[in-house]
Structure 1
Amino acid sequence: MKLSFPDANPRARIEPFGQLSTSVNYFIGNDPANWQTNVPVYHGVRYRELYPGIDLEISGAGGKWEWQLVCAGGPCVPEALGQVRLRVDGAELLTPSGVKPAAVAPERPAG
Structure 2
Amino acid sequence: AALEKLAVQTDPSFLGAVKAQTHKQLKGLEHLEKKLLRAEKKKHEVHLNAVEALQLELFPHRGLQERTVNFSSFYLSFGPEWMTRLYAELDPLHPYFSVMVWD
Larger helix fraction of residues: 2
Instruction: Compare the two structures and name the one with the higher strand fraction.
Output: 1
TM bracket, shorter-chain basis:
under 0.3
Higher Cα radius of gyration: 2
Q: Kindly indicate whether structure 1 or structure 2 has the higher relative contact order, using CA contacts under 8 Å at least 6 residues apart.
A: 1
Normalised by the length of structure 1, the TM-score is 0.25
TM-score by length of 2: 0.26
